[in-house]
A and B are shown apart, each in its own frame.
Chain A
Amino acid sequence: MEQKTLSEYEQVLYGCRFCPMCKPAAEVGNLTQLESHSTRGRALLLWRAAKGLAAFSPRDAELLYQSTLDSISQAWCISHYPVGEYVAAARRELVSQRLIPAAVENVLGRNNRADACPKGETVLLAGEIAQLDDLSAADPALKLLEACGVTAKAYMSPTGALAYTLGDIESAEQQARSVCEALQAAGAKRVVADGPQSLFALKVLYPLLGIALPERLEVLGLADLVEPVVVKNKLTTVVNGDQTVFFHDSRSACFLADELASDEVIQPACFDSEEHSGYGEVYARPRRVLDALGVRRVSSVWSKSLSRSTGADDGLWLTYPELASGLAEMRLDHIRSLGAGAIVTDSVLDAVHLQRVQGSEGELRILWFPEVFRA
């Protein structure tokens, strides 16, 4: 991942501006079916801006935020053009030009509560949970860590990841510094991320912003600590033996992948296999954990780096909640069509959002990864 200006993406946008090949991967584009919401439509308006042919208009700004970062199109493209990066670059320009829509301004202007970081060797960074503003949401993760023999306390704070994806670099840097300083002051030796977005912040974003983590701080995801324990048969699952599970990868996991989808996936016949949809431990580890627990899984090509957003990614559920709900409905429909009885997801945001959209009477059981384990 790189942090360039929009004009530095001109050549990439030159390639994307007329190309419709990533249509199947479109998220908001496949919800509204409006060409302006397609990757191609967005690339066309961005190319004109990058080339200096046109200034951004309020409608352009709206179209750029009525979207996730569109990293799924990046994964689908056989050339892996950096779609997510140029959308992020465009948003940075919009913020600097003060052209962001009111819906986004309201989110950026929110008073994001950051608690004090509790002292201790292991800290659970509740960065995703900070978007819910409810520290009790961290309880399943803390219980899981305890079951793995790890005593940890939760530290709820925005990580800067949301601010970054919305284009507010200043806030992202501020929040990043704040997290690093808090971890330093708390004497933490190990930080466990509550989900892929927090992990992305620690492992990818902070180095990109030039912000150093405390020296010798170990950075882990929940699955990293859980896997060895599960393998030793020391944990069981709440998932019924007759229930099949679909594992939903949040979009942030894409930025932690070793490799994006390979070009086999663009064949229509590749609909039920996740084998070529992305590569890396961020995908493999939670799946191995579920398999070791004896959970039966169903798969789909729309997984891993091709996992379609639930709408809780990249702040869309906060900025354009109607679009986000539409994405969640589409995702739930797809998972139902696979015959799954339950969804397990690596992101608490995805779990909460899907549950809200499905409602309490919905037939799919939706679990955040730590909730899979019996207490």
Chain B
Amino acid sequence: MLHPLQRSYLENELVDIVGRANVFTEEEDRRIYAVDYFWVPRMYVDRGKVPPIPDFVVLPGSPDEVSRIVKLANIYRIPVIPWGGGSGSQGGTTPVYGGITLDLKRMNRLIEINRDAQTVTAEAGINGYELESALNRAGFTLGHLPASIHSATLGGYLAARGSGVLSTKYGKMEDIVMSVEVVLPGGDLVRTLPVPTHASGPGILQLFVGAEGSYGIITEATSRIERLPEERRFRAYLFKTFEQGLEAAKQMMLERINPSVLRLYDAPSTRKRIKTILGLDLTGFYMVVGLEGNREIVDIHERRAHDLCVNHGAEELPNEHAWQWWNHRYNFYFPPKCLDFPWMFGTMDTLCTFDKIENLYYTKKKRLEERYAKWELQYIAHLSHWFPWGAMIYDRFIIEKPPWDHQEALALHNEIWNVAVRTSMECGAVLNEHHGVGLKLARLVREQYGPAFQVLEGLKQGLDPVNVLNPGKMGFGPTK
């Protein structure tokens, strides 16, 4: 806890680094940085309570400024929490111990599109939509199109190992990134190797990707880019059973058909979400299949994908439904169509190998619906990110009438998450697939890794002995 006198000296030093115009101490500004997509601080605000707020909001304009701020934080032993677009859902930016929220969005330059190497280099604070628009103008795409594209930043994509709607073809962000520039917890500015695959010792790139700012603050990244596809096609199908849809999709992946989109909705999702967003009244399991790239290759893959679906009992729907989904896929996230208060809800995305998916889905669904029947918990799911060895279940819980009292609501919320994540782990899945850990799941990281957690902890202690960078997240404690 900083004494007001010490606070004013720190403020003075921050102003020295970034200028008066980029340091904010008024409560009105700090409150706004307390809330992103994480349900808990939103719930606090909704109930008229005050969530954790930072002591300072600082907007650096360069990696050098970030470095100087981090060095200062080590001297004052004050937390530093990186902030991108404010679209994180896990509490990765919740300033539980106060500190300096470092909003990186002034660092938003697109540095280079390298047509020969097919890479793009940009500062971490660049907005996802702006980056993708610039790439499209040049005839390329990042291949990473998350729901949060309009608000998220490149740094945020990397901090949480994000997935986009085309990840089945182009990979997750950890596959797309080639190298990063990072300010280490001691303040040194470093760069990882220029290529992500090598035999030059352990890869430190993946140390920073997904670390949510706890091992370093990403200031710049180089990522591979793809040419805009010559052809993009979608098909829509309705399966009678989950198993049939799952098997058809699995065969596509095993045959390396490489769809860009493979999205299988369970029956409740088909009934509710597809109806809400697309206006389609369907009973069954709705699937969208997307294919893109060279026209001849797409022709072949489309024929095979279609045969697999039909051979597994699917009814083909007019493909205008699939195009409708594609053209309006961001509509799900605008009010009043998005999930919103007064509901309690959460996306519990996880992934596992093919042999475990059915058990994972049914076990989690049954356990959550039965255990929280009193709260009329709804469980909806779709599978949307696929790998040659398995798939991600993007499952959600919804409680339409949660407790009003904020402490009761928090207790229920955390209990549901405990049950959901532990069920996932019990069924051979992991803590999370693409939203990250943050504050929400920090307490479960040690459980997930078991004795292997000492590897993460050892790295943290070595790099950040004072624990200034984003304390309280990833299973690490407070600033020392």
Contacts and interface: CB of A to CB of B under 8 A. Distances in A.
Interface of A: 14-24, 32-36, 38, 40-41, 44-45, 48, 53, 57, 59-60, 63, 77-79, 81, 263-264, 266-269, 271-272
B284 to A, nearest CB: 27
Contacts of A18: 35, 37, 42, 340
A268 B130 CA distance: 8
A41 B132 CA distance: 24
B330 A15 contact: no
A267 B35 contact: no
B109 interface: no
A35 B32 contact: yes
Interface stretch (B22-30, B248-256, B382-390): B22-30
B335 A22 contact: no
5 contacts: A23-B85, A33-B103, A33-B106, A78-B334, A268-B136
A35 B24 CA distance: 11
Interface in B125-175: 125, 127, 129-130, 132-133, 136-137, 145, 148-151
A23 B24 contact: no
A20 B86 contact: yes
A44 B35 contact: yes
B310 to A, nearest CB: 31
A93 to B, nearest CB: 16
A20 B35 contact: no
Given A24-B129, A59-B26, A19 B334 contact: yes
Nearest to B36: A20
Nearest to B130: A24
A77 B45 contact: no
Interface residues of B, number: 48
B257 to A, nearest CB: 25
A199 B460 CA distance: 62
B283 interface: no
A78 B332 CA distance: 10
B341 interface: yes
B432 interface: no
Contacts of A271: 133, 136-137
Given A20-B85, A24-B150, A34 B103 contact: yes
A45 B28 contact: yes
Q: Which 4 A-B pairs have the closest CB atoms?
A: A15-B335, A20-B151, A33-B105, A268-B132
Given A19-B338, A21-B334, A268-B136, A33 B48 contact: no
Nearest to B30: A36
A21 B133 contact: no
Given A79-B335, A81-B335, 18 more contacts: A18-B42, A20-B85, A20-B87, A20-B151, A21-B151, A24-B150, A33-B105, A34-B24, A35-B33, A38-B32, A44-B31, A44-B35, A77-B334, A78-B330, A268-B132, A269-B133, A271-B136, A272-B137
B122 interface: no
B151 A23 contact: yes
A90 B318 CA distance: 47
Contact of B59 (A15, A33, A60, A272): A33
A263 B150 contact: no
A16 B334 CA distance: 9
Contacts of A32: 59
Contact of A79 (B37, B103, B132, B334): B334
A268 B129 contact: yes
A266 B106 contact: no
A198 B331 CA distance: 35
Contacts of B133: 268-269, 271
Interface string B323-342: 00001101101111110110
A15 B337 CA distance: 10
